Structure 1
Amino acid sequence: MLWVVLLLIAWGAAGVSCIRLCLVTASAAQRPSHATRKPTSPELSPYETAFLAGGPHRVADLALVSMHLRRRLLLAHTGWATVVDPEGRDDLERTVIRAIGPDGQSRIAPVRAAAAAADAVRTLADRLVAAGLAVPHGTRSDLESAVRAVRGTAVLVVALAAAAILIPGQETTHAGPVAAWFALPLVLTLGCLAIARLENHPYSPWASPTGQHWLDSLPAPAHGADRDLLAAVAVRGVGAVEDPELRAALLSGART
């Protein structure tokens, strides 16, 4: 009856990991009591909107596109960024220019990574968290960790089931019932993952419920003007760029 012990281990791991994921998800869904900005506030900057929709790398993408459209930076489809105007208008643009270096030219990938990790982006994130619009880094990390734990448990259940079936001396006629018993914790873990995905899709993992409400209230960006393109990049990312050369440059920078 060694398979019973393995089954108990499978149930224990499945129960603990799924309960943890449920608790973390419920905690992340709670609206912060210290929110200082209304969800329909018109004061959010494009960078703040980009962070809520896609996180630090979305902010970096927006900065690169903005500088390119204003002829302050040239983004080549080959994946290189060239400084045209060395005077940045804000901290993030100055970070981009510093990341490119004194030669005035660099691959886009390291520039994008440096901009995403800049103090300016961290300050922006802290401001959004304090306003109750963004999910704190610790909460987001806990959620990602909980999801990985449930996935790992699903793999563990399959491995324990295989071990239980292959135990020496196990009768062939018992393989079916043993597999059926192990199917229950497997269904639990997979079901928990499916529910977590449905609850969060298509929502941003960076925005709190209040921040997501703000994103949902935004009108669909129009087409044509640079301002509309920047709004579309902030909300939808690089996929909103229609220029094939600019999109190729940004996708080159995204492969980090």
Structure 2
Amino acid sequence: MFWVLFLLAAWVGVLVSCTRLLRAASRAAEPAAGSASFPHHDELSLYEAAYLAGGPTRVADLTLLSMQRRRRLLLAHTGWATVVDPVGLDPHERSVLGAFGPDGQSPVPALRAAVAGGEAVRDLAARLGEAGLALTEGVRCGVGEGVRAVRGATVLVLGMAAAALAVPVEGTTTTIVLAWFALPLILTLGCLAIARFDGYLHSSWASPAGQRLLVALDRERGAAESLTAVAVRGVRTIGDPELRAALGYGNRGRIPRQRGQ
């Protein structure tokens, strides 16, 4: 039964990748020593909540929306922003204003990149990491690499199954071969489903302690279309389709065209 060698190769790939993912997930779930620095969700600022829920990009979206709602910035559905008040009230707003050209206009993706890569966001991340609320870059990368490894193992199982079926073996039916390969396939798909489910309910940027604060914050203050809802759940909570379109530029490759084109 030469096809058993293909099955063993598939199992080796599955076990190695799943173990890697489980170890990374265990590291992410470990409580940090400073997690008591924010004992209650009301102590989180909206910027901090945005980072924990969606990372630097979410902080940028929240900053732009906050400035627009206070009539300090105009966001057009075409993906361009115009300065109304050139004075920044905090480091994040100053990052936004610093990205504008001399004419006071800029595409939203450039503003988002300026805020997301700014010193204010780095300081925010460091502070939340020290408090035990945000995952470190190493932990986030470990989980991401674990997920990619399991995906690769899934492809390996399918490839080994195809190779096993291509080898004619007397006394072994196709159903038997597929049944044996279904076991490692179920394991990899199950791991991916759990990882996707956890990533949907909780942020990949927040530690378990940070996730609990986000859930409590969203439950008490996450009213529809509020800044808290945007911080925790993203721009999809915005009811205005033109404003949602403006903030959607730069995502999934959408780049605004120059005005007048």
Same fold (TM over 0.5): yes
Q: Deviations over 1:193-215 (max 9, x none)?
A: 22333344411111111111111
Q: Deviation digits for residues 164-217 of structure 1, max 9, x if unmatched?
A: 1113x4459533222222111111111222233334441111111111111122
TM-superposition CA deviations, 1:140-173 (whole Å, max 9, x none) = 1110110111011001110111011113x44595
Residue 237 (structure 2) pairs with residue 236 (structure 1): no
Q: Where does 1:114-129 land on structure 2 (aligned, <5 Å)? A: 114-129=114-129
1:250 to 2:247 alignment: yes
**Who is 1:166 aligned against?**
166
Contact 1:49 1:215 in 2 (8 A): yes
Structure 2 CA distance, aligned partners of 1:221 and 1:177? 52
Does the CA-based 8 Å contact 1:39-1:211 persist in structure 2? Answer: no
- Paired with 2:194 and 2:70, the residues of 1 have a C-alpha distance of 44
2:92 aligns with 92
Shift of the alpha carbon at 1:232? 2.0
Aligned partners of 2:171 and 2:92: how far apart in 1? 65
Partner of 1:156: 156
Measure the CA separation in 1 of the matches of 2:238 and 2:196.
Answer: 27
Give the Cα–Cα distance (whole angstroms) in 2 for the partners of residues 201 and 255 of structure 1.
18
Q: Residues 41 and 232 (structure 1 numbering): CA distance in 2 closer, same or farther, change over 3 Å?
A: closer
User: Which residue is equivalent to 2:208?
Assistant: 209
- Counterpart AA for 1:221: G
Asked if structure 2 preserves the Cα contact closer than 8 Å seen for 1:109 and 1:255, the reply is no
Aligned to 1:60: 60
Specify every segment of 5 or more residues in structure 2 that has no aligned partner in the other structure, as ranges: 254-261
The SS at the match of 2:173 is helix
Residue 185 of structure 1 corresponds to: 184
Letter in 1 for 2:28: A
What residue in structure 2 maps to residue 49 of structure 1? Answer: 49
CA shift, 1:36, in A, is 4.7
2: CA distance, partners of 1:210 / 1:248: 33
Post-superposition offset of 1:110? 2.2
**Matching residue of 1:72:** 72
**Structure 1 residue 33, shift from structure 2 partner:** 1.8
Paired with 1:236 and 1:183, the residues of 2 have a C-alpha distance of: 36
In structure 1, distance between residues paired with 2:239 and 2:80 = 19
Q: 2:88 is paired with a residue of what secondary structure?
A: coil
Secondary structure at the residue paired with 2:74? Answer: strand
- Distance in structure 1 (CA, Å) of the matches to 2:127 and 2:8: 46
Counterpart of 1:72, as a letter, is R
What whole-Å deviation, never above 9, does each CA across 1:11-39 have from its counterpart, x for those lacking one? Answer: 10000111111111111111112335133
CA distance in structure 1 between the aligned counterparts of 2:197 and 2:240, rounded to whole angstroms: 33
Instruction: Tell me how far apart the structure 1 counterparts of residues 117 and 171 of structure 2 sit (CA, whole Å).
Output: 57
1:134 corresponds to which residue?
134
- Aligned residue pairs total 251
Residue 251 (structure 1) shift: 1.4
Asked whether the 8 Å contact 1:39–1:210 carries over to 2, the reply is no
Q: Which runs of 5+ in 1 are unaligned?
A: none
- Between 69-78 and 197-206, report the one with greater CA deviation: 197-206
- Are the aligned partners of 1:39 and 1:133 in contact in 2 as well (CA < 8 Å)? no
User: Quick one: distance in 1 between partners of 2:172 and 2:12?
Assistant: 26
Q: Given that residues 165 and 174 in structure 2 are in contact (C-alpha distance below 8 angstroms), is that contact kept between their aligned partners in structure 1?
A: yes
- Matching residue's letter, 1:150: V
